[in-house]
Amino acid sequence: MRVVVNAAVSADGKLSTRHREQVAISGAEDFARVDRLRADGDAVVVGVGTVLADDPHLTLDDGDLRADREDRGDPPNPARVVADSRARTPPDARIVDDAARTYLLVADAAPGDRVADLEANPTVEVIRAGEDRVDLPVALDRLEAEGVEQLMVEGGGELIFSLFAEGLVDDLSVFVGPTVIGGREAPTLADGEGFVDPEAFPELRLTDTERIDGGIVLHWTVAEG
């Protein structure tokens, strides 16, 4: 499976403000780029923190991209995936509507009633992996067995850090926007516990850059460990 992380950050590396509400960092050109990247993948994953903060839909905006997918025998939208150890995704969240299939990655610790409420939705399929927290290598293997060959990661910072820490990321695209958000509590591209040992820092190679929306997209690939 190829794992492609995409995010938009301010010039100081923040994904959002300290209030963790959704803010526009990029513009129309970047939205179109993200739509194309989504269309290239089999599934798009976010952490439950992003679901609770932004209530994203994670479907394709551009009807032509949906039609192209259908022409090649794929569903019009990629599947949606939430890393949600305790099944905190609200049953009325947009990510579990009927626009596409949704895989809910939960841990054994997830309360059975919340899992059952979400599983009652015909578009939702639950994948259990891990005891207290979603075991990402196991969960991604399960997704691969479901036919997910390219997985796009759309945040947030907790999930992105875990994927790097597990050595699961292949590519990273970051739009760096022309603004400063600041705030030591504001989420950044990679939060979690962070690496301490420089030997553990993932090594990235810059493969391309694009100037759009008054900022720049940096395309990186992760060097083999």
| Shortest spacing between CB 70 and ligand NAP, in angstroms | 27
Judged by beta carbon, residue 67 or residue 116, the one nearer ligand NAP is 116
Residues 38-67 that bind ligand NAP (CB under 6 A): 46-50, 53-54
Residue selected from 5, 15, 43, 153 as contacting ligand NAP according to rule CB under 6 A: 15
Pairing of strands 204-212, 215-222: antiparallel
Residues 152-191 that bind ligand NAP (CB under 6 A): 154-159, 162, 187, 191
Residue with tokens 């990661």: 153
Give the Cα separation of 204 and 77 in Å (integer).
30
Name the segment binding ligand NAP (CB under 6 A); options: 68-76, 83-91, 111-119, 216-224: 83-91
Q: Does 83 bind ligand NAP (CB under 6 A)?
A: yes
Name the segment binding ligand NAP (CB under 6 A); options: 18-26, 60-68, 73-81, 203-211: 18-26
Task: Look at phi and psi of residue 143 and say left if phi exceeds 0, alpha if psi is from -120 to 50, else beta.
Answer: alpha
What single letter denotes the amino acid at residue 210? E
Name the segment binding ligand NAP (CB under 6 A); options: 82-90, 95-103, 113-121, 207-215: 82-90
Judged by beta carbon, residue 14 or residue 66, the one nearer ligand NAP is 14
Q: Tokens at residue 71, please?
A: 């022409």
Q: Does 2 bind ligand NAP (CB under 6 A)?
A: no
Residue selected from 136, 140, 152, 176 as contacting ligand NAP according to rule CB under 6 A: 136
| CA 63, chain centre distance (Å) | 22
Q: Does 213 bind ligand NAP (CB under 6 A)?
A: no
Q: Tokens at residue 22, please?
A: 């959704």
CA neighbor of 175 nearest in space, from 217, 206, 219: 217
| Shortest spacing between CB 106 and ligand NAP, in angstroms | 8
What single-letter DSSP state applies at residue 188? B
CB 62 within 8 A of CB 84: no
Give the Cα separation of 94 and 96 in Å (integer).
5
Count of CB atoms within 10 A of residue 29's CB?
A: 16
Contact footprint for ligand NAP (CB under 6 A): 7-8, 15-16, 20, 22, 25, 46-50, 53-54, 83-86, 88, 133-134, 136, 154-159, 162, 187, 191
